[in-house]
Structure 1
């Protein structure tokens, strides 16, 4: 059996602030507890919640690693008591409660999935956070069905490129918003029927035109703020609005008469604080329905850029430009 090192390189958050507070440190290699898997990290996904955590706005759940990083891929290095689904050396990807920006990371076994043979580590690291989030919010909470209209904001974000492709692959008619003509073109190439440059056009009017006044059935929104009222006006009767973020603010004024008359559902969720059993159920659904689409080439994992682990600050700087199309990934040297 391979002997594990005692220490590892990890990216810590030293204070609160800009990308420069991400600093490499030597940390002890964690020991897996009951039901946990220790992963030798090959790659780690970079996500907006990591940026919020770095700024002091999204702390790690109590009892979990305070290091950033919510998704990784790699090989199983050790197993905790009762963890029996995998063996040492297996290629896996996992949703984490934190700690992904490191050479080794702990994952709960239910949130860990095998990596199909043809999917490289960098792509696999970009799957858990976005695919779990999209699957749960669009297809479980939003109950999007084949033939329905779907609007996703931020179409070229990691969430956006995943949502466009999964919705289109499963038969929905997709409209996406993005912040430039180049980004709109990318959305259409990924499967959107129409992409709206929100800097130039009102998406509410485009939705009305595209759906012949009917509206869309499901909206996935991470903007919040004044988008909430505009989303409500864009929904069809019995439509569902699912919020997963609030970049423009979480406190809004809603015309409940419009909600009542159209019989709308307003919902939302955050994944990090959910119990392990819930994440495990989402993982099983993603493993059964979404990962096979990736393995078959029907859904692409869109990688914007990769950075070495030690350059995590540069990866965050790239994310904060909002120029990226797809996922940003950290790679860990062997």
Structure 2
């Protein structure tokens, strides 16, 4: 009961379903783990994902400079539309690091939200600014770092830190406080339309396999929602 939130009056049940747990995850990563501050620069990987879309909106609202990566132009355009100052494909020749360093005038970023892991590690190290916080919350690109990456030396050189986080393993009291803080901040902004729970597609519950197929195709931007209807009596 302590984890329930009121549905803003302007949102449908499907839109409300797209808020947890992606928005709670993004809020936690930004403000409880990374201690994000206005004026900082942030790099959000998979910026077209559910968490990425939420994190982009939260960071822009906070007054941060947002850079995002994704693999398709549709996802990159969504990030730009939501306020990202730079949206770059990780598939570009040379990767995303040159574009991020150019956009930041060589200073790099203060925060990296990383659900990719190993395959982005070397470029993440390259774009970290002084005292950067690298927050890992997923390993879609594998758990292993390149063997020739002197990660500890690079972290020490930049006084940077690595944080890891999963929401599911948090205590009930932690989730209760997170929900309270998030609701106080975000629900009025959903009601005003400043925050938007972006839905890519909605499937009826009996088409759950089609929903999984759509998700596994990596074509979605934002959330995929299953709609549950009451059975006819």
Return the TM-score normalized by structure 1: 0.66
1:252 deviation in Å? 2.2
Stretches of structure 1 lacking an aligned partner (at least 5 in a row): 1-108
1:288 to 184, 206, 209: 184
1:122 to 7, 11, 14: 14
Counterpart Cα distance in 2 of 1:272 and 1:291 = 22
Q: Counterpart of 2:126?
A: 233
Counterpart Cα distance in 1 of 2:167 and 2:32 = 13
Counterpart Cα distance in 2 of 1:294 and 1:166 = 11
1:229 deviation in Å? 2.6
Question: Is 2:50 the counterpart of 1:154?
Answer: no
SS at match of 2:207: helix
1:185 to 71, 77, 83: 77
SS at match of 1:177: strand
Query: Which protein is richer in strand relative to its size?
Result: 1
Counterpart Cα distance in 2 of 1:189 and 1:238 = 29
* Residue correspondence of structure 1 range 67-216 to structure 2 within 5 A: 109-201=1-93, 202-216=95-109
Kindly tell me the number of residue pairs found equivalent between the two proteins.
226
SS at match of 2:215: helix
* Residue correspondence of structure 1 range 228-267 to structure 2 within 5 A: 228-252=121-145, 254-267=150-163
User: Bigger radius of gyration, 1 or 2?
Assistant: 1
Q: Which has the higher contact order (CA 8 A, sep 6+)?
A: 2
Query: 265-274 vs 210-219, which deviates more?
Result: 265-274
CA shift digits 1:7-34 (9 cap, x unpaired): xxxxxxxxxxxxxxxxxxxxxxxxxxxx
Counterpart Cα distance in 1 of 2:9 and 2:78 = 27
**Contact 2:8 2:190 survives alignment (8 Å):** no
Q: Counterpart of 1:97?
A: none
Counterpart Cα distance in 1 of 2:126 and 2:154 = 8
Question: Is 2:210 the counterpart of 1:308?
Answer: no
Stretches of structure 2 lacking an aligned partner (at least 5 in a row): none
**Contact 1:110 1:277 survives alignment (8 Å):** no
Counterpart Cα distance in 2 of 1:323 and 1:275 = 33
